[in-house]
Amino acid sequence: MDQVLPAFSASPSDARLAPRDICAGPARICFPFAGGVVGGSHISTLKLIQRLDRTQFTPLIVLHHGAGQCAELLRKEGLEFITLPRRFLGKSSGVPPLEGARALMGALTDQWSLSRFLKSHDVRIVHTNEGPMHISWALPARLAGAKMLWHHRGTSKARGVRYIAPFAANRIVGVSAFALSEVRRITAAARETAVVYSPFDTHCEPIDRAEAHHRLTWELGLDPATRLIGFFGNLVGSKRPDMFIDMMARVARMRPDLPVVGLMFGSPLIDGIEDQLRQRIEAQGVAAQVRLMGFRYPSERFMAGCDIHAVTAVGEPFGRTLIEAMLLRTPVVAAASGGNLEAIEDGVNGLLAKVDDPDAMASTLISLLDSPEQAARIAATAATQAVERYGVDRHVTEISAIYRSLLADERQGKHKSW
């Protein structure tokens, strides 16, 4: 069940809260989320929360906004959460000075309220997973005497992880070496950072890919022999959804004899982007070759039904869908960029193509469609490697070890070690 907290009220008695017994019972870990649209960070964190050892750790999920996809997902997964009475995401730019001053005062009040919230719930560690949450909860964690784990899932160029995290967080975790490359380069933070790959279910019931493919073609009214190319990811610039459309246009021109359709699964994170993509589809003349499928969860059956998962994203730290496809034995063709290079060994467990080059991506896709033996070999290798490297148990073990390290620092009275 989800709870909505009453509005916070400042009280002098807050300063007299009894000191907690840091050795008593499981340590409470706070997981704050903005709420709204679900992304890979939410799914990864939920898998961690579900598998945490409850004799050691008690999760506390907090939403700033409880009416979006995130809340729906939590309810579907049977996870309890708390909804805060107000939303503060740290944005006050672009408003008149008077309103800006009021926003600043409100922000400071919210920071104090959040610190009181952490104290009242005896939170020992704040584990943030989104940009706005890193900023919103860094000071409250410090004021409340809680440790902060900054889980960076964004680009290596993000200012927050480079310039704020080294001073605000007790530990920085990245989803890939690429994600942490800049903060490690410009600061002395390397020894307080760790790469922990996102968790994936590696023991799921196998999906009949032929049946999944048949269901998709039936739903869309396509010939069962149609080859399906999947795009899985939120519709934002870094995912390059426009590049996917251009790529499909090149495939249609290079091989007009090949029955192939591109399916785009994902939520629109930018206002009007779906209309823009439809216009691009029309302009490229591929209305029959590209379909916008919207957000589907869980996505496994749709991904298993695709012949190839095309990862057009550029500069991504480490996309979940790439590994999900590997586990499902759906061959992957990815742009040679960012975290894709850590997951894909070209020609071994997937294929890499030149970044932002629809012709190169199209040629690579066609070569794989024309070589079922290579596709099967790549898919089998990818599945084996993904099970070994990206299991939920391994992720939970590594994050739990970091929690214990932070709690050990707490017992020794350490606030920062760098």
Cα angle 261, 267, 269; round to 5: 125
- Judge contact between 85 and 4, C-beta under 8 A: yes
Task: Give the pLDDT score at 246.
Answer: 97
CA atoms within a 13 Å half-sphere pointing along the CA-CB vector of 246: 11
Per-10-residue mean pLDDT of the chain, 418 residues long, equals: 45 36 78 88 93 97 89 93 71 48 68 94 97 94 96 91 92 94 78 88 87 96 97 89 96 96 90 92 95 89 97 89 94 95 95 96 97 96 94 95 93 56
What's the CA gap between 349 and 314, in Å, rounded?
19
pTM score, whole prediction: 0.76
CB 305 within 8 A of CB 333: no
For residue 93, what pLDDT is reported? Answer: 39
Strand segments, DSSP code E, in 153-269 are 171-174, 193-195, 227-232, 260-265
Paired strand residues for 263:
230, 291
What integer pLDDT is reported at residue 86 of this predicted model?
Answer: 62
CA atoms within 13 A on the CB side of 344: 31
pLDDT at 110: 85
The pair phi, psi for residue 128, each rounded to 5°, is -95, 145
Residue 318 is predicted with a pLDDT of: 86
Asked whether 194 and 173 are in contact (CB, 8 A), the reply is yes
Q: Which of 264, 397, 241, 368 is nearest to 316 (CA)?
A: 241
CA distance 320 to 45: 12
